[in-house]
Amino acid sequence: MERDGRMRAEQNYGGLDRFRMIAAFMVVAIHTSPLLSYSADGDFLLTRILCRVAVPFFFMVTGQFVVSDFFARPGRAFEKFWRYIKKTAALYGISILIYLPLGIYAGHYEELTTGSIARMLFFDGTFYHLWYFPACIIGVTLVYLMSISGMKIRVWLGVSGALYIIGLLGDSYFGLLKEGSLLHHIYLQGFQIFSYTRNGLFMAPVFLILGAMGTQTISLNFYRNYIGLALSGLFMVAEGFTLRHFGLQRHDSMYIMLIPTAIFLMKALFTWEGPSSKFLRNTAMWIYVLHPAMIVVVRGAAKVLHLTGILVDNSLGHYLAVVSLSTIVAACLSKWMEKGGKKEEFPCGRAWIELNKTALRQNVAALRKRIPDECRLMPALKADAYGHGALLMAKELSGMGVDAFCVASVREGALLRRNGIKGEILILGYTHPDLFPLLRKYRLTQTIVDFPYASLLNRYGKKIHVHIGVDTGMRRLGERSENVDEIYNICRMKNLIVDGIYTHLCADDALKKPEMDFTNRQAYAFYQVIEALEERGCPRPKIHLQSSYGVFHYPELAEDYARVGIALYGVLSTLEDTEKYKDILKPVLSLKARVASVRNLYRGEWAGYGLAFKAEKDMKIAALAIGYGDGLPRQLSGSAYAVLIHGRRAPLIGRICMDQTIVDVSGISGVKAGDVAVLIGKSGEEEISVCDLAKETGTITNEILSRMGARLERIMV
């Protein structure tokens, strides 16, 4: 079962989540020096310079998710702050316990004094890598205090920048301080309190604040971010080697260039697309916590297995062993924790949609069989994939080799991109000029809805991929097919990359003469345009005319794409049409809900709103946890429609409510709360088709499906 990721998909955090893993691998590298067996300089470059970006990255992510709210929503700042502190302290506590035996074994806790305990707890960490947790706690607390002081964000940035400089002088730049000078003396005193200046006071705040500001300053320029990252990284390498050359480093965690490098890294990561992943987040965190223990395990195991040569003495072998073991253990741990958390997310508790993967696969195969090999499916995922859940559908279809989709709006397209859907995504509808930047950001293809719109889009000034809509008779969108000059001019517009041209057939469902004549005239007008463009020397873009009915009724019109919607979901618009193709199209969607309560209704009593139902005899009724707020049409009240429980029909009683529906279960024995009612789909021998609902309410299946509520959960089975 796969959950619909819509809730978490609003922002583009997939890149951050994936880089967390890389950053965790970097931290392991810092503690195992993978290149040491081969080159001391190489190892210095990798672990003492490049991998140093990992910890600032983690601070910035915390800034992004926690600290940003201190500015953006001061009213909720304390709540957010306190929750973070509690969580981090708990994690720190667990880590302390995990490492207590190792610390004792290594003799870390001999000669303990109050001072050394405090120093360990607040700054150094009770085990070497654990300094990070108190640093987070102190850094976030410091920034929280700044935020409630009422200072502007720029001022804090200044303050935290100054703290960072103080930190630099105790770290990579320590050698600049003259021995015996007052400053030198002050630093030596400081080192009584903390062993390093890379801690929550001096290092964390600046990255926390930069991370928090990151949300407001995301640049969309893909290349500039990467060039910036490469250049600042390069300068950081130069800085590191220079400092080492002059022997200035007391420690090597902090560089000046670490700041721009970390900023560019974050910006670049925001342009990575992909779903955010709690699993990767947790795995990276556990790799961080557990890898020192895994170092011990690898050493022990190597000794037992007599593999010390490659697993310990060879630095690369050692690193790979530690990384793999840490990753496996961390992944198992977060999978296990995920399972514990899943209980909260049980998707079939109230009312839900089940999507049948096998049916979808059959429909895709059936449709592909009806179009030539050169023609590709371009499924219509508009209106949340006709209520099926666009993301679930897109993922499933991508897995079946589909690489082109159409949607109605930028928002629908962006949702797919942010969740890692590849291939062409064509927006069939209008996009407001204020949203033009998103076309580029999410690499969406825009439909040219008419000539003035093309001019507007061209004036935007940046290259946009488009398909030209041609109006051949629907009189909705597209430039009129008679206006060949205009269409030709659109093709020549400097900023429009014309990948395709298409028309939409508006009477292809009916097989009567007037409609068929009309459709053939539409096709003729369209091909006239194509020919005229060819004569004028325009390169031939992809062309397409068919939607679902076109594929069945006009197979000769197959070109580069078939924009299939309703048929892909296993039905056609009406009951009659669906019957005709029921051997090849299988309904993908089932609609189900729980029985919430079963009770008696006595003769003469009413049930539901508005005294619309009166019992003529004693009966048993059940309330179902689904209503018109979930997309079940209220119009069905009083119709012949009945739901299925235990494979038997349970007629509706009274009016459908927003969240509930009452049904008659007198004829069905043993119905109890928690049972499943099928509103669309199969139960036992019985089946209710979405066509039945459409027929009862005087509409087409497309409308019933696309109005399925956002409140419904969607699962693939």
Ligand X SMILES: *Cc1c(COP(=O)(O)O)cnc(C)c1O
Interface residues with ligand X (CB under 6 A)? Answer: 380, 382, 428, 504, 547-549, 563-567
- Between 280 and 470, CB nearer to ligand X: 470
What is the spatial distance between Cα 323 and Cα 321, in angstroms, rounded to a whole number? 6
Q: Rounded to the nearest 5 degrees, what angle is found at the Cα of 634, between the Cα atoms of 628 and 636? A: 125
Q: Rounded to the nearest 5 degrees, what angle is found at the Cα of 447, between the Cα atoms of 498 and 531? A: 50
Residue 388 CB, nearest approach to ligand X (Å): 12
What percent of the chain is helix, strand and coil (3-state, nearest 5)?
55, 15, 30
Residue 548 CB, nearest approach to ligand X (Å): 3
- Between 48 and 563, CB nearer to ligand X: 563
- Between 280 and 562, CB nearer to ligand X: 562
Q: Rounded to the nearest 5 degrees, what angle is found at the Cα of 6, between the Cα atoms of 271 and 432? A: 65
Which is catalytic among the residues 99, 255, 267, 382?
Answer: 382
- Cα 574 to chain centroid, rounded: 35
**279 close to 199: Cβ distance less than 8 angstroms:** no
For the question of residue 602 being annotated catalytic, the response is no
For the question of residue 278 being annotated catalytic, the response is no
What is the spatial distance between Cα 640 and Cα 654, in angstroms, rounded to a whole number? 12
Residue 706 CB, nearest approach to ligand X (Å): 9
**27 close to 56: Cβ distance less than 8 angstroms:** no
Residue 444 CB, nearest approach to ligand X (Å): 15
**351 close to 593: Cβ distance less than 8 angstroms:** yes
- Between 53 and 487, CB nearer to ligand X: 487
Residue 209 CB, nearest approach to ligand X (Å): 47
Q: Rounded to the nearest 5 degrees, what angle is found at the Cα of 368, between the Cα atoms of 362 and 369? A: 90
Three-state DSSP state, 253 = coil
Which is catalytic among the residues 109, 609, 614, 672?
Answer: 609
Residue 550 CB, nearest approach to ligand X (Å): 8
DSSP assignments along 612-631, one per residue: -EE-SS-EEEEEES--GGGT
- Taking alpha carbons only, the member of 333, 299, 331, 378 closest to residue 550 is 378
- Between 197 and 431, CB nearer to ligand X: 431
Which residues are bridge partners to 649 per DSSP? 644
Residue 274 CB, nearest approach to ligand X (Å): 27
- Between 355 and 380, CB nearer to ligand X: 380
- Taking alpha carbons only, the member of 424, 421, 418, 413 closest to residue 394 is 421
- Between 167 and 541, CB nearer to ligand X: 541
Residue the block writes with tokens 């990284």: 233
| List of residues 6+ apart from 61 with CB closer than 8 A | 16, 20, 211
DSSP assignments along 254-285, one per residue: --STHHHHHHHHHHHHHT--S---HHHHHHHH
Residue with the CB atom nearest ligand X in the bound state: 565
Residues recognised as catalytic:
382, 609
